[in-house]
A and B are shown apart, each in its own frame.
Chain A
Amino acid sequence: MSSVIEVRNLKKAYGSLIAVDDISFDVIEGEIFGMVGPNGAGKTTTIECIEGLCQQDEGSVQLLGMNPVEDRRKIANQIGIQLQESALPQRIRVAEAMNLFASFYERRANVDKLLDTMGLTEKRSSSFKKLSGGQKQRLFIALALINKPRVVFFDELTTGLDPQARRTMWELVRKIREQGCTVFLTTHFMEEAERLCDRVLIIDRGNLVSLDTPEAMIRSLGVENRLVFTLPGDQVAPELGNLPQVSHVEQFGERVVVYGQGARFASSVVYALEDAEVDFVDLRTEQPNLEDVFLSLTGEEMRE
């Protein structure tokens, strides 16, 4: 496994504001690498330094073994970029935009096939200004893939999309990776990073907070799973603290929260409840997620 991106001691300030402070990491070929953090954490600055759109103050960046700023045109041929903020001429049509951008590159993907993958075939004669937010975003992805890139960059891909469109986008990103393309994305949705990324870099206030797989991050927290249920009426919960998988139990009126871990945690609790013949409702398990990881590592809630 080789690195396609190598970032070493990257530092970038805008005046007195330090946007990125001494960050180092590698992105491995073929992975979906996610950079998460609140707005203003330094994600866009980092991604733009890697893309060569922004020159870092200190440190070095290698993209596909090249210097992003010095070898910008050579690199531009091999990567795809979706910018957080960009636009096309209002009256350009979808197919025209695709053909125009295709003409800029040495390698070209099949325009019809790409439009089909992005669900834009019916929109090929529509002008850019008539597209919905989701359609515009899909067009920008299509444009980012038009040169069959080796690495593709998505900056806040799903911001402004409704939950369903967001899920569709995730499917697309997985498909892109299946075709052998490395994906580098930034997001401020923890859930997106957790569901989509192989590895996640958490950044906050310009600093690298953590870098690992989402699963390992959550595991390293040592946070227990929770099983929550409600006991209607005046029922008394059976003694659950004795179960080997359970660490402790909290009861707030009718609501009971059981903490514990292990493969048989949930089933052992349910079995004990059945055994005691109590009627429980609204049973659900709650697992720690990246949201909890962020909270525990930075000591604060994710700021939107």
Chain B
Amino acid sequence: MKSFITLIWINLKLYLREPIATFFTLAFPPLMVVLFGAMYGNDPTPMLGGYGSMDVSMAGYTAMILSTVAFLGVPITISSNRESGVLRRFRTTPLRPVTYIIADILTNLVSTLIGMIGLVLVGWLLYRVRFEGQVIIIFLAVVFSGLSMFSVGYLIAGLAPGARSAQVIGMVIFYPMMFLSGSSIPLEVMPEAVQRISNFIPLTYVVRLLRGLWFGESWGEYKIETVILGVILVVCTALASHFFRWE
């Protein structure tokens, strides 16, 4: 247990010292609020169901943070730690591999939540964004969607031959997903073709789930989203643990 806590604590410190990671999870989302807020404001519009652009974006940007961690953070960290021999060094100790992975997942969840709190804080300070859901439900949904997306990240880390390729694969998945899922720009303002494509983007389901729960709808109305994310979680976790390599 001591090793578990120490591992998470040091992982978090390492994460905070990584300028690129902290920029994308901590600084970039509030920056989006400032930028897009200046462009669109937060006046209620019928197109967004009577909510403002920033109200809607809280869930979307949270999904974006989550996918940054999943597709850029996880594959790069794991594969570069493998490539340089960090994982190998851990393997020589009595530390259980599963402890290492769980600590890593928890670290990623915590950094996602820290990013989300920063985002919502800025949204509230600048635009008094509306929140009509329950904190605990949103928290659970972020954890659930996070685990689902992270499992894809661990699978990429397992399949990619090296750190460079892991980075490329992560980016190739991340960037289109960010625009086509409605996480950065609400799908309502997108052409219909994009909306149709978005049905094939896993992150879309994260955005839908979080946005619904954010405005107080019940989780029961999001059965499809829950099933899809659950299937991704189960399948990718199984594949990731099969393809995972320590060296």
Contacts and interface: CB of A to CB of B under 8 A. Distances in A.
A135 B91 CA distance: 22
A143 B86 CA distance: 13
A103 B5 CA distance: 9
Contacts of A103: 2-3, 5-7
Contacts of A86: 85-86, 88-89
Interface in B71-114: 81, 84-86, 88-89, 91-96
B85 A83 contact: yes
A51 B86 contact: no
B192 interface: no
Interface string A252-266: 000000000000000
B2 A73 contact: no
The A contact surface, by secondary structure, is: loop
Nearest to B89: A86
A54 B3 CA distance: 25
Contact of A91 (B14, B84, B91, B94): B14
A89 B86 contact: yes
A85 B95 CA distance: 19
A99 interface: yes
B92 A87 contact: no
Contacts of A89: 14, 81, 86
B96 A88 contact: no
A104 B94 contact: yes
B190 interface: no
Contacts of A87: 84-86, 89
A93 to B, nearest CB: 9
Contacts of A5: none
B93 A105 contact: yes
Given A100-B6, A103-B6, A88 B89 contact: yes
Nearest to A105: B94
Interface residues of B, number: 22
Given A103-B2, A104-B3, A76 B93 contact: yes
A81 interface: yes
Nearest to A91: B17
B107 to A, nearest CB: 12
A96 B10 contact: yes
A88 B93 contact: no
Contact of B94 (A76, A92, A96): A76
A77 interface: yes
Contact of B93 (A85, A96, A101): A101
B94 A88 contact: no
A104 B96 CA distance: 9
Contacts of A53: 91-92
Contacts of B7: 100, 103
A103 B18 CA distance: 24
Contact of B96 (A73, A81, A91, A143): A73
B196 interface: no
A53 B89 CA distance: 11
Interface string A50-90: 01010000000000000000000100110001010111110
A34 B85 CA distance: 24
A92 B6 contact: no
A71 B165 CA distance: 35
A96 B13 contact: yes
Counting chain B CB atoms within 10 Å of each CB, which of A83, A101, A103, A105 scores highest? A103
23 contacts: A53-B92, A73-B96, A76-B92, A77-B94, A83-B85, A83-B89, A86-B86, A86-B88, A87-B84, A87-B86, A89-B14, A91-B14, A92-B14, A99-B6, A100-B6, A100-B7, A100-B10, A101-B93, A103-B2, A103-B3, A103-B7, A104-B94, A143-B89
- The 4 A-B pairs at the shortest CB distance, nearest first, are namely A86-B85, A87-B84, A103-B6, A86-B89
